[in-house]
Structure 1
Amino acid sequence: MLARLAVMLGALLWGTLAIFVKKLTYYGFTEMEIVTIRVTGAFICFIPIAIAANSKGQMQVQLRHIWYFIGTGLFSIAFFNWAYFTAMNMMSISIAVMLLYTGPAFVVVLSNLFLKERLTGKKLAAVLMTVTGCAVIALSGDNSSGNWTLLGFVIGLCSGLGYALYSIFSKLALRKYNSMTITLYTFLIASICLLPFFPFWKKTFGLPLEGWLYIVGLGLIPTVIAYLLYTTGLSKVETSTASILATVEPVAAVIIGILLFHEQLYGGQLAGASMIVSSILIISYERKTKKELFL
């Protein structure tokens, strides 16, 4: 029970990400600067954890495998965060988070193409349901009173693609390294590549205390603490079950958008969102069923 609660709490903290993005945007930070703040803050927080875990040299990696972490750090973490934050600022939080959650459908397709995983009927149905859900959201855009744009919609879909790429690259990396090593080097590579080009600290001079609290909070609450809670729960909960429990993230994000930022979720958007969430449940059930067959 505690493990499931940890997974849900981690997902709920991910759902609070919109608060930090909106507030830091208000203080003049661009989306890429906010991404840089997040990955750098996370890397700094993970350093002591990595030192503690390095008793047997587990944090050492071979240079020829660095492309794994370029994939997870740049092509996934940096890319999907930028796309997600941009979509969030261009449209509503509700739409942005639902488009982010097209990630599992992208995983199904990419896993079939690059990891040669079998595309079952249930997986195909989930992908089609995701596509249909996105189409419904897109078609309802004209009636959403300015919280939908075509460019924002495309960028939102890119966040789902970037989110999916982490699963692909990390699955390749897991053949050689553990999850903590992958996480550390993911944020290290992202920080090294982003810091020279997005010097967010130049905007911190004269920043009020509230702004600093949001900067620190971004690295801790929806990033490090959320990750630690989720992975702690994941160690005692099936992956399929955890992915179902994690759907509280979009629910939390939608509620935050409505209550704190006075956003509205229209009928077509709600219907499309329901299809996307349902597709996640189908994919999760598929994984659970497969695992039970081998028990």
Structure 2
Amino acid sequence: MTRYISIVILGALSYGMLASFAKIAYGQGYTAGEITFVQALIGAVILWSIVFFRSIKNRSFKLAGNWKLLLAGTSMGISAYTYYLLVAYIPASLAIVLLMQMTWMSMLAEWIFFKKKPTNFELLASVLIIIGTVLAGNLLNVKDFNFSVFGIMLSLTSALLYTLYVLFTSRLGNDVPMFEKSALMTTGSALMILLINLKSITTSTHLDLGLLKWGTFLAVFGTVIPPICFTTGMPKIGTGLSSILLTLELPAAIFCAYIILNEQISFFQIIGIGLMLGAIIWLNIVKTKREKQITIH
């Protein structure tokens, strides 16, 4: 059990560190479109290589009828692109805080698309997350409010797109092996990013070894390791505990922004982060208990 918990934690920590390193890449002249495209492309190549060698070993390879996963991957691509784009406008620590709004957005999406009305408890947890966001993002301190409103709107858009990606992932291709599923969705992601940035990528003067270095690094820690960790560990430890462990992405991102980018964190921001994490963990614990009671009955 401990082994699989560690594997899921590794996946969450890998995701959390991405924004800080993307911001460093910006400082070297690379753009969000270039970085996300090369990351998705290299990630797809790595995943398809794994699929290919596994298919030779197992002598089985089926992809027919899974074109929907390619389309679902486009939401992942747009979300990743907007997420990397927004860290050029706002601090990386605030970017991950706003991305965590996917917790209450997923409830809203389930209500709209699947008629699953949130309970009073879920609504209370959502309010606590929003209050925590205001504190964690230092949004009450008007004097120090020197970041872009456009960046904040962009981050909320990224959170919404990430919510759609999670919904698609959980409901599509559950009969497809994990590497094939990840490879298909990553391919869809790369194609969408290329489509959005076709002109800038085809005329780019930054397609060099430096971009390959950043693309490979971000692909390994953002496209390959997390899906493998999650698909390996989550089935063993359960959805509830997995959801709790995924919240480690938030402190990991803020810690990296503090250490790597020297972004300052105030006491009230720490309180806000703690409130967000507490609300998310509380929400998942209650949901897990409720699901167990339903299963028993």
Q: For residue 24 of structure 1, what is the amino acid of its counterpart? A: A
Distance 1:36 1:217 in 2: 13
User: Which position in structure 2 is the counterpart of 1:182?
Assistant: 181
User: Which position in structure 2 is the counterpart of 1:18?
Assistant: 19
**Secondary structure in 2 matching 1:28:** coil
Gaps of 5+ in 1: none
| Mapping of residues 1-295 of structure 1, within 5 Å | 1-52=2-53, 54=55, 55=58, 59-62=62-65, 66-70=67-71, 72-74=72-74, 76-136=75-135, 137=137, 139-144=139-144, 146=146, 148-174=147-173, 177-195=176-194, 197=198, 198-199=200-201, 202-204=204-206, 207-208=209-210, 211-293=211-293, 294-295=295-296
The more displaced of 132-141 and 19-28 is 132-141
TM superposition shift of 1:138: 6.7
Distance 1:155 1:233 in 2: 31
Calculate the aligned-residue CA RMSD, in Å: 2.6
> What is the percentage of aligned positions where both structures have the same residue?
21
Distance 2:174 2:13 in 1: 30
TM superposition shift of 1:164: 0.7
Distance 2:172 2:141 in 1: 39
Distance 2:39 2:162 in 1: 15
Q: For residue 122 of structure 2, what is the amino acid of its counterpart? A: K
Distance 1:168 1:94 in 2: 25
**Secondary structure in 2 matching 1:195:** helix
Q: For residue 16 of structure 1, what is the amino acid of its counterpart? A: M
CA contact under 8 A between 2:17 and 2:253: conserved in structure 1? yes
**Secondary structure in 2 matching 1:199:** helix
Per the alignment, do residues 185 and 268 of structure 1 end up closer, same or farther by CA in structure 2, a change over 3 Å counting?
A: same
Distance 1:143 1:115 in 2: 42
TM superposition shift of 1:44: 0.7
Distance 1:53 1:124 in 2: 44
TM superposition shift of 1:236: 1.2
Q: Deviations over 1:234-275 (max 9, x none)?
A: 131111101111222111111111111111123444444333
TM superposition shift of 1:27: 2.4
**Secondary structure in 2 matching 1:151:** helix
**Secondary structure in 2 matching 1:43:** helix
Distance 1:103 1:205 in 2: 33
CA contact under 8 A between 2:99 and 2:158: conserved in structure 1? yes
Q: Deviations over 1:78-99 (max 9, x none)?
A: 2221222122221111110011
CA contact under 8 A between 1:95 and 1:269: conserved in structure 2? no
Distance 2:98 2:117 in 1: 24
Alignment size in residue pairs: 288
Gaps of 5+ in 2: none
TM superposition shift of 1:67: 4.3
Distance 2:277 2:261 in 1: 22
Distance 1:150 1:289 in 2: 39
TM superposition shift of 1:150: 1.6
Q: Deviations over 1:31-62 (max 9, x none)?
A: 12222122112111100222245557564132
Distance 2:245 2:35 in 1: 27
Q: Deviations over 1:77-126 (max 9, x none)?
A: 12221222122221111110011111121111111221233422222222
State TM-score, norm by structure 2.
0.85
